[in-house]
Each structure stands twice: as C-alpha cells, then as structure tokens.
C-alpha cells in the first residue's frame, strides 16, 4: 500500500500544540496525534478564528483604537501587517485558523472592534459556525482568555467584504461584529525579591528546587516562563513562605536545560522576578 500524502498550513501558538490527524480508509478511521512545541514570542493580544466549513472563505478583521499618537488601523487580508498588529495567514480554503496578533509591548490601550466576515462560499447557501478566541496579555501572570459564543454567518454565493466604515453598521447575515477592551500588563514595582535554591538546578540529581521570598513573605503563586516569555508551569502556594518545583511543565514533561524566568506573587499583591538555570 502506498502511503497517503497531504499538505496544509497550520499556525502554531506559543507552547505545546497537539495536532490530531485522521485518515478514513477501508479499514475504518485511523487517528494519530503529533505534538509540536512552538517558541513564539509573547503577545499583548492574539485573536484566533476557526470555522466548520472547508468550502468557505471566512475572514477575520480587527479595527484598532486611536490615541493621541496613533491612528486607528484596519488589519485584515488586504492589510496583513499594520503598525502594531499582523494577520498571519489568510486561509481561503480550509477551517482556519487565522490569527491577528499584537506582539508584547505594541498594543495600545482601548477598545478593539473585530469582525467575522463570510467573504465567499462554494455551493448552496448554508449556515457556517465560527469560533473566536481572544487572548489578552498572553504569556503573563494576568493572561485572560475570552471565548465568544459560536458565531453563525451565511450569505448567498457572492463575494462580500468588510469596508472601513463597517463597524458603524448593524450586523448582517454575512458579517458579525464583536469588541473587547485591552490594557497592558504592567509589572508592579516592589522591594520584594524571590530566591531560587539551588540555582543552578539539577532536577535529575536534586529532585526539587525551592522558591522563597528574601524577606520571608508568603508566596501565593510562582510562574515559570521560558526565556521568550512562554508560560511552562504555574504553581499555587498554600499560605507558606516557600513553593517547590520538580523541573517539569504542566504536562509532566521534564524541561530541557536552559535559563527560565521566575515570576513570584506575594500575599501583599506585589510581584518579583528572577532567573534560574536548569541543567541536566
């Protein structure tokens, strides 16, 4: 039997991505999962869109707010890279995903307006379900995720785009608008310090590393991040001055050797950061 081949474009998000591949043949359905780790940089904002109809071209649009030093932009397939945001892929045949991302330190404070637009569709008129997920301050201790209810769009088989004035118009069958507010994560200034012991940490030999406040303040959380800002583990305190870690990520996998960032939050609401070296 000759092996089947296919190709597709997939956008990876920061961290661990699990990709499921299914094949239907005379023996039934065979499924396998591939795990890929991405080291994408941290984002202020990432808006992700997927849909359930491979014969339809659904487009994601973001209208940014204006400030005294920055004019609003319309980011979409016709303007993929704006001054502060960028569309990664214009997926015209498939299920997505499409992502519009604003890298760390670039997004302006204010209200963003998004649009889901069914640009074109092959075949008869039908409903298409779209899922939008918004990640705010992605990769920080204040990360939040907004999952919008399924958005249903439909329109006769004709090309329909979103114009620059569309946010002022009511929703149509083919275009649905949404909005969200963004304010950047700002690390609180503090005199507290977090200490890692031992540092360097040899997990296979020493088992655990201990995090503690230099002043003896109780820890509420300790977040371990890769050097590019990707969260790999978040540890919750139990009202004590120390929190321990075994060198593994959220999935229980032992992390590779390297430098990791430690973000500690104390019971008084203040935070502190430090660096730790992990060595096998």
**DSSP annotation string for 114-158:** EEEEEEEESSS---EEEEEEEEEEETSTT-EEEEPPPEEE---SS
Q: Determine the pLDDT at residue 202.
A: 94
**For residue 47, what pLDDT is reported?**
96
| Regions of the chain where pLDDT drops below 50 | none
* 40-182 and 194-278 have identical folds: yes
Output the CA–CA distances (angstroms, integers) from residue 158 to 60, 89, 163, 165, 166, in the order listed. Answer: 17, 22, 16, 20, 18
Phi, psi angles (nearest 5°) of residue 186: -120, 120
Per domain, the residue ranges of the chain are 40-182, 194-278
Secondary-structure class of domain 40-182 per CATH: mainly beta
Tell me, rounded to whole angstroms, the distance of Cα 225 from its chain centroid.
14
pLDDT at 9: 55
Find the largest Cα–Cα distance for the chain. Answer: 68
**Residue 247: per-residue pLDDT:** 94
Nearest to 194 by CA among 213, 217, 215: 213
pLDDT tens-digit readout, 191-218:
678 899 999 999 999 999 999 988 888 9
CATH of span 194-278: 2.60.40.4070
């Amino acid at each position: 039997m000759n092996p089947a081949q296919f190709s597709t474009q997939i956008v990876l998000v920061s961290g661990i991505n699990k990709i499921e591949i299914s094949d239907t043949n005379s023996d039934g359905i065979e499924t396998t999962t591939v795990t890929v780790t991405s080291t994408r940089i941290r984002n202020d904002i990432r808006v992700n869109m997927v849909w359930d109809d491979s014969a339809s071209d659904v487009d994601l649009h973001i209208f940014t707010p204006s400030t005294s030093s920055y004019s609003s932009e319309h980011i979409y397939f016709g303007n993929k890279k704006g001054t502060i945001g960028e569309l990664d892929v214009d997926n015209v045949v498939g299920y997505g995903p499409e992502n519009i991302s604003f890298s760390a330190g670039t997004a302006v404070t204010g209200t963003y307006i998004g649009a889901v637009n069914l640009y074109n569709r092959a075949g008869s008129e039908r409903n298409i379900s779209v899922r939008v997920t918004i990640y705010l301050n992605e990769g920080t201790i204040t990360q939040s995720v907004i999952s919008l209810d399924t958005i249903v769009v439909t329109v006769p088989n004709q090309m329909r785009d979103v114009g620059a004035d569309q946010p002022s118009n009511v929703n149509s069958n083919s275009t649905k608008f949404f909005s969200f507010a963004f304010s950047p994560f700002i690390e609180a200034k503090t005199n507290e310090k977090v200490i890692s012991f031992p540092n360097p940490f040899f997990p296979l030999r020493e088992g655990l590393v201990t995090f503690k406040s230099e002043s003896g303040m109780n820890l509420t959380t300790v977040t371990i991040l890769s050097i590019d800002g990707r969260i790999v583990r978040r540890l919750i305190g139990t009202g004590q001055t120390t929190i321990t870690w075994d060198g593994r990520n959220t999935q229980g996998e032992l992390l590779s050797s390297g430098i990791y960032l430690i973000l500690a939050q104390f019971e008084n609401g203040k935070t502190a950061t430090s660096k730790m070296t992990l060595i096998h």
